[in-house]
Amino acid sequence: MKVVLFCGGRGMRMREFSENIPKPMVPVGPRPVLWHLMRYYAHFGHTDFVLALGYRGDYVKRYFLDYEEWQSNDFILHGRDGVEMLNTDIDDWSITFVDTGIDSNIGQRLSAVREHLEGEEMFLANYGDGLSDVPIDLMVKELEDTDCVGNFVCVPPSQSFHVVSVDDRMRATSFDEAGDAGILVNGGYFVFRDTLWDHMHPGEELVYEPFHRLMSEGRLLAHRHDGFWMGMDTFKDRQELDEMHQSGRAPWEIWNREAFTDT
């Protein structure tokens, strides 16, 4: 099943990195967040990627053309005879790079890669800036078992803010942490049938007009995930993700889960 990753964001709230590189290429450990997402999908057997490029798409292309496997894999150096890799990570990956415009919205980016999804009855998509341990295989099965067109992850917000309720006299009636207020937000992990195209019109943003059409027909699933999910929207978010990675117990690195699961 092909995976569309949206890689066009500028990351305006992460200027420490994104004035020079696109947001999906901000590093978490030695690898960009985009690589972590691709490694996550590869764990489930999805290794055919379509990258919807935008801002600094050249940077994304160059990274993979000059990919250095030794950064995240063990190897033996045989003097002048070269390097013998003991394990690899992207050898079985297929990556299609598509320029989808600097200022395109997500719906436009998805439409721009449509020709590369021909023949796919179902496909996966991701915003490209959030990490999670959501069971994507379960989400696929949930969609297969219904006549719905899409399934997306909804999660409690990870940001620390308060949700306030007021009465008709503007008197405060509740003051709750966002995570305890019952609010769910779009986590940016999607599974779609190819019939999605029947619900999209040119220029539309994916989660506005098309999603509202699907909701009005009762054909949009929402998969609630109470496990790990964290969006990388700010420099602080990036620092927290980096610290998790450095600890060796990053929740989204499910390909390493056996190495840090308590026994």
Asked if 193 contacts 144 with a C-beta cutoff of 8 angstroms, the reply is: no
Rg (CA), the chain: 20
Mean of pLDDT over the chain = 88
**What whole-number distance in Å separates Cα of residue 213 and Cα of residue 215?**
5
Q: Which residues pair with 2 in a beta bridge?
A: 48
**What whole-number distance in Å separates Cα of residue 27 and Cα of residue 36?**
9
Burial class from Cβ neighbours inside 10 Å (0-12, 13-18, 19+) for residue 196 reads buried
Is residue 201 included in any domain, yes or no? yes
The residue among 63, 64, 58, 115 whose CA lies nearest residue 94 is 64
Is residue 157 included in any domain, yes or no? yes
CATH number of the domain that residue 7 is part of: 3.90.550.10
Number of domains in the chain: 1
**What whole-number distance in Å separates Cα of residue 132 and Cα of residue 38?**
12
Is residue 245 included in any domain, yes or no? yes
Length of the chain: 263
Q: At residue 263, does pLDDT exceed 60?
A: no
Q: pLDDT tens for residues 225-245?
A: 999 999 988 888 999 999 999
Q: Is the dihedral of CA 129, 112, 125, 151 positive or negative?
A: positive
The residue among 252, 249, 251 whose CA lies nearest residue 260 is 249
The per-residue DSSP string of 62-121 comes to HHHHT--GGGTS-EEE-GGG-EEES--SSTT-EEEEEE--SS--HHHHHHHTGGGGTT-S
Under the banding of pLDDT at 50, 70 and 90, the label for residue 13 is: low
Is residue 121 included in any domain, yes or no? yes
- Quote the pLDDT of residue 11: 59
Q: pLDDT tens for residues 96-152?
A: 999 999 999 999 999 999 999 999 999 999 999 899 999 999 999 999 999 999 999
Q: At residue 75, does pLDDT exceed 80?
A: no
Range of the domain at 246: 2-72+88-258
Is residue 254 included in any domain, yes or no? yes
Is residue 83 included in any domain, yes or no? no
Is residue 8 included in any domain, yes or no? yes
Element (H, E) at 136: helix 136-144
Under the banding of pLDDT at 50, 70 and 90, the label for residue 260 is: very low
Q: Give me 33's structure tokens.
A: 């967040």
Is residue 82 included in any domain, yes or no? no
- Quote the pLDDT of residue 2: 98
Asked if 114 contacts 197 with a C-beta cutoff of 8 angstroms, the reply is: yes
- Give the 3-state secondary structure of 166-183: ECCCCCEEEEEEHHHCCC
Give the 3-state secondary structure of residue 154.
strand
Q: pLDDT tens for residues 214-223?
A: 999 999 999 9
> End-to-end distance of the chain based on CA atoms, in angstroms?
34
- Quote the pLDDT of residue 169: 78
Q: Which residue has the higher pLDDT, 205 or 256?
A: 205
Q: Which pTM does this prediction carry?
A: 0.86
Residue 36, Cβ neighbours under 10 Å: how many? 21
